[in-house]
A and B are shown apart, each in its own frame.
Chain A
Amino acid sequence: MKDGNGSLASPSPKTSKRLVIKEHILEIVSDSGEGAQKAGQSFGAVSAKMGNGVWTVEIIPADIQPPPRTKESASGIRIRFGSGKITNAGDEADILVAFNEIVPYNRIEQNVYREGTIVLIENKWATDKSDEIQKSYATAIQDFKDRKFVVYEIPMEEECLKLTPNPKKGKNMWVLGMLCHIYDRDMEKAAAQVGYIFRSKSKAVVDSNLQLLQAGYDWAREHLDLSYELPSVEAKEELVVMNGNEALSFGIQAAGIELCSMYPITPATSTSHHLAECIQSSGGIIHQAEDEIAAVGFAIGASYAGKTSVTITSGPGLALKTEFLGLAVMAEVPLVVIDVQRGGPSTGLPTKVEQSDLLAVLYGQPGDAPKVVLAPSTIEECFHFVILARRIAESFRMPVILLSDANLATGVQPFPRPQLREEWLSPPVDQSPRAEGAMPYGWDEKTGLSQRPVPGQAGGEYTLTGLAHSEQGKVTYLPEVNQKTSALRSRKLATFGRTLKPPRIHGDEEGGLLVVGWGSTLGAIEEAVDIAREQGGSVSSIHLRFLSPLEPGLLDIFKRFKKVMTVEINYSDSLDDPMITPENRRYAQLAWILRAQTLVDVDCFSNVYGQPLGPGKILARINEELGKLN
């Protein structure tokens, strides 16, 4: 039954010694609605509970109800798990569990498998009543073998039928059981997890799924010679496991933000789904507005009235919010804006990752509109950065934009459970009378900071306006006033920048190549850098969290390396492309900014395949660059 000859599993119990591995990448792919994601999430949770590092990411079809047994229908999950910490989704998968022979092609197109990838595939299609399906199955199995995948044909449905009349519903739990045996998962923890996911269902449903889980486990023990051991250390501190959007939702609540005003858009919406479930219990509320313009306007209204709010969106929605963002900058209204970036421009790639909104948030508003922009690079940072963002927004009286992306949104990772603090919460709305003579924009000339009046404060009455205005909040078109107030708004960024530290250098403090990243690519970049360094490469990396203002000391760091190159998931021209010259080349977005700000000839490696950048691709590029440097 081994090595891709495609025969059925032999019936003798497999007691061979487990192969010790450091990490594995597993994918489960099914038709949409067959529960592959549930099985994978449970597998990830059990692994995290056992002390493994885990990163999971969902494979989501772009359409709601794609026809079954098509590439478009591929729905599932990738789980990378290992003995140590896992910081990204990795490169090619080691094992694929497929519920039919068509859906894997969706992933094959994306080059996520390699020679030797083990394929565990439902074999019921081999005997399907339709000749066409039988033929399709046979062709695919042959193709898999030609691609040098190692194919195991598994009687998933046949086995499930022994326990349930409706195997389509329970197959995923059977598969989970099978995987639990392959990777020697703790079955008590697995059973607890199954109980948890079906917590709102009847006992009969829970029991049936537990039976399927056990059956899958037993079947694998009897019939499969695949068995691995993954050493793990049970975590000392308490962990939570969630995706980046859930982490944002928790951050919003831990920051004491009482209003999230939004309009549904992928991949930001799942944050609102989680918030909708729990924000009312923590004293907040969600407003689903009629569109993104109204959503941000509503949030600004609430913020103006003292309840600093958040609005959450993705590219097309961000575009609609543009005019209001300019108003928030001009009138100095604190506001937290979360942009979970997806592929663009326009509707682009709704479910896929890109880091393409950086320049839009920085320069999207007509006129000069300085604001703070920060980008979490881990799921844990998605949580903490919202808290940070609210504080900056209020202290500096400006919108703060948080750039997450589809990779963080759907990636699931354990991290230390946040120990909530009261000072993270927004303070009560100040309703004390304003000091005599306090002006609505009593700017401090040195820092640009001022104390805003909030409705309810006697003596603070003023009319907020997006027109140019004086310290008294009066509309004025005096040339000096506009020049000065523009400078003061800009100065706030410089003031804030003073509180930042230079970025930490991953690797040596000086050397050949310096890789600069931002956002969700942190794990993949550092993993690639580590491997290159182990191989003797002179490469280091830095990862920016603050993009406006930029973290200080960059020029100083850049000067210590022979070459600086950003790694980003957005579009840039390649010098090998037709018509492209060093002069007309369009760079990746962070590279543009770094070049302008430091005058260093910063290069970039970026692309828009809609996929997370894996460490393998980054490593290849690092090695290529190192080759040129030597």
Chain B
Amino acid sequence: MFGIKKDFICDLPKKYYTLSNYEKGVARWCPGCGDHAVLSSVQRLCREEQLPPEKTVFVSGIGCSSRFPHYMNTYGFHGLHGRAFPVACGVKFRRPDLNVFVITGDGDCCSIGAGAWIHAIRYNMNITTIMFDNQIYGMTKKQTSPTSRLGTISNTHPTGSVLPPVNPLQTSLGMSNVSFVAQTADWVPGHLFATIKAGYEHPGFAFIKVIMRCSKFMGPLVEEMTTNRDAVSILTHENGIQADDGTLRAFKNHLNHDPSDIYAARGLAEDQESSYLGLFYQNKDAIRYDQYGAHNLGFTPEEKMAAVNAQLDKFAV
């Protein structure tokens, strides 16, 4: 019933895409910004999966991170602040043949785009979302973000932010029809890549939160995050993300967590003491709205007109 309709299948000459086929321009992020690492990982994924550039769409909102599509030699949609999700869902709804990615920031996703975000989780379309969580508004120069830790000094809260942060993992895992929630960090390249790949392979909406370095505005935090390895645990499980040996060696704390156990996943998400890198939750059988959107594609003009005529009959006098 579902699947790709004939009008999207065309004979492509067999071509091998190299990394350079996915690269465009020079990324204008600050040196030391975590965004560079994600870009490399994603380009690597495209090459490994041999994604045809013309069949791949990166949709973003607005922010430093949302500049991402400009550096990919694929189709891209750099739209409005907070609105990447509805656009991406609209792209995918009637075009099941396209590979759709969402690139969003912590402000873009969890503040202005929060409504669209939680609904995107529930729609569970086959889209890979990478949320660049640097805990600050980078683009607009250091304002408090919804994920900024309590007490974060910023240009809008010079004496420290006054509310506890939004916990994006907790929020995602609380949403009905959630199907894939994972966390990784930009400075753990092997794990970053494995996580993005697992998200891409997930049949549904993959929400990947990447803990990011904003070297420009969050120096002390970056320092703390990248050096204090004891605060990090790697989630391991045969159905989880298979971290590379380097990652497993670098981070001594490992925790075996079954990603089908949503209650355990919620418990980990709520843990204030440590950060877990890995797959929190996955359900490959959640209802997929993109399949609903694509269930009646490919009508011929004759079929369309016949249907409208049959409807008109009911209004005829």
Which residues of chain A have a CB within 8 Å of any CB of chain B? 45, 48-49, 235, 238-242, 246, 250, 253-254, 256, 258-259, 261, 278, 280-285, 287, 289-291, 293-295, 297-307, 309, 323-324, 327, 414, 417-418, 420, 422, 425, 428-429, 431, 453, 455-467, 475
Contacts and interface: CB of A to CB of B under 8 A. Distances in A.
A282 B304 contact: yes
Contact of A462 (B59, B75, B88, B292): B75
- Ranked nearest first, the 10 interchain pairs of A and B with the lowest CB-CB distance are A301-B90, A283-B299, A463-B76, A297-B86, A298-B90, A282-B307, A301-B87, A294-B86, A281-B307, A290-B119
A456 B55 contact: yes
Contact of B77 (A254, A281, A431, A463): A463
B69 A283 contact: no
Contacts of B55: 455-456
A431 B10 CA distance: 8
B80 A297 contact: yes
Interface in B53-88: 53-55, 57-59, 69-70, 72-80, 83, 85-88
Contacts of B316: 238-240, 417
A483 B225 CA distance: 46
A9 B255 CA distance: 89
18 contacts: A253-B311, A282-B307, A283-B303, A285-B293, A293-B116, A294-B86, A298-B90, A301-B89, A301-B90, A301-B92, A302-B93, A304-B77, A305-B94, A327-B80, A429-B7, A431-B7, A456-B55, A459-B54
A125 to B, nearest CB: 36
B296 A455 contact: no
Interface of B: 7-8, 10, 12, 52-55, 57-59, 69-70, 72-80, 83, 85-95, 97-98, 115-116, 119, 292-293, 296-299, 301, 303-305, 307-312, 315-317
B93 A298 contact: yes
A521 B309 CA distance: 29
Given A259-B93, A463-B75, A467-B78, 19 more contacts: A45-B317, A253-B308, A258-B94, A261-B90, A283-B299, A283-B307, A294-B115, A298-B93, A300-B79, A301-B59, A301-B77, A301-B92, A301-B93, A307-B95, A327-B79, A425-B304, A460-B54, A460-B75, A465-B78
Contacts of A455: 54-55, 57, 75, 91, 95, 98
Nearest to A324: B80
Contacts of B8: 431, 456
Contact of A464 (B77, B86, B303): B77
B315 A241 contact: yes
A291 B59 contact: no
A294 B317 CA distance: 39
Looking at B10, B79, B116, which has the most chain A CB atoms within 10 Å of its CB? B79
Contacts of A309: 90
A305 B95 contact: yes
Contact of B78 (A48, A242, A282, A463): A463
Nearest to B71: A463
A306 B307 contact: no
Given A259-B94, A299-B90, A457 B54 contact: yes
B264 to A, nearest CB: 29
A331 to B, nearest CB: 8
A290 B7 contact: no
Nearest to B301: A422
A310 to B, nearest CB: 12
A255 to B, nearest CB: 10
Looking at A294, A429, A466, which has the most chain B CB atoms within 10 Å of its CB? A294
A168 to B, nearest CB: 28
Looking at A301, A305, A417, A458, which has the most chain B CB atoms within 10 Å of its CB? A301
B317 A253 contact: no
B119 A305 contact: no
Contacts of A240: 312, 315-317
Looking at B69, B98, B315, which has the most chain A CB atoms within 10 Å of its CB? B315
Nearest to B305: A420
A475 B70 contact: yes
